[in-house]
Amino acid sequence: MGLPLAIKRALKLSNVAYLCSPALLVFLPDQFKSGGTMGQFITEQIILYIGSFSVFLCWELSHHLHQENVQYLLLGGKLTECPTTFFFPGRYLFAPPKGSAAAETNPSEPLLAALKESIPDSLPQYLAYLDLCMVCENNVDDWCRAAFFEETGETYKKVVAACLRPQEQLTSNLSEVLEGCYVDKAHQLSNQLQLPTDSQLDSKHYESLNNFQKYAWCAKAVASLTERSHEEDRFGVAQLIGSNVAVLSTLISSLLAIEVFMGKKTSLQPQHLMGPVTIK
């Protein structure tokens, strides 16, 4: 169940930490250096080794359980209460093995399925957006990104739509919040006279930003994909299907809504934040 491997790694790390610990004695003040008998010194070394081993063992077990939970969720498990924001240091690749038949025919299918069919704000969906962002933004798995620009343009349209939906939702939510604030003109005037850090908005107003990590990944992915389309889009699908206009208008609308919400712009009305026509 992962315990033997965790013990093995904990022993290795404990040995390294124990061998490096004498170097710390050089930097310790004299009052903290051991000046007792040989028995006390041996006891201190045993306690040090056992303590470091316990810390590394807990570390490895936590890491193992975290990986098992991720695999369980990706295989269809349900999480009753998934936090809307979390820290995940690794990356799960939503793509078939390179060189396989699926990689040659439709390498984007697993990623698109995870983006579309996953439970909203679930861990698999977050990992799918992270994987999409890394494929679009970095020079990794460029064969997977090249599949977005297939001749029909359907894959590119689905990828862009999956990224723009959260951005449109963010803009819509912020517009509703701002529209409620603009009803009271006195409240509006007092907010304009305050610094952005002194804004007295209700805590519920900030619920629209709970998924800020997903919004950031979506914005990065669609912006990088639009930029790379100028060099990698051999069939011109980004221009032909009109995705560039939708990307620019949606990202600018989100930017304006966030700036108004933060107090950086006060001359815009909430109804002027949506759509390519009104944001002019």
For residue range 130-165, list pLDDT tens digits in order: 899 989 988 878 888 989 999 889 999 999 999 999
pLDDT of residue 19: 87
Residue ranges in the chain modelled with pLDDT below 70? 1, 25, 28-36, 69-91, 180-205, 265-280
3-state DSSP assignment of residue 79? coil
The token pair that represents 205 in the structure block? 């107003």
CB 217 within 8 A of CB 133: yes
How far apart (Å, rounded) are the C-alpha atoms in residues 151 and 149? 6
pLDDT of amino acid 53 = 93
SS3 category, 266: coil
Other C-beta atoms lying within 10 Å of the C-beta of residue 181: 17
Q: According to the model, what pLDDT value does residue 54 have?
A: 93
Report pLDDT for 257. Answer: 87
Per-domain boundaries in the chain: 3-74, 110-272
Helices (H), the chain: 3-24, 38-74, 101-105, 109-117, 123-137, 142-146, 154-183, 185-193, 212-232, 237-240, 243-262
Query: H/E element holding 207?
Result: none
How many CA atoms does the CB half-sphere of 220 hold within 13 Å?
16
Q: What does the pLDDT read at residue 104?
A: 77
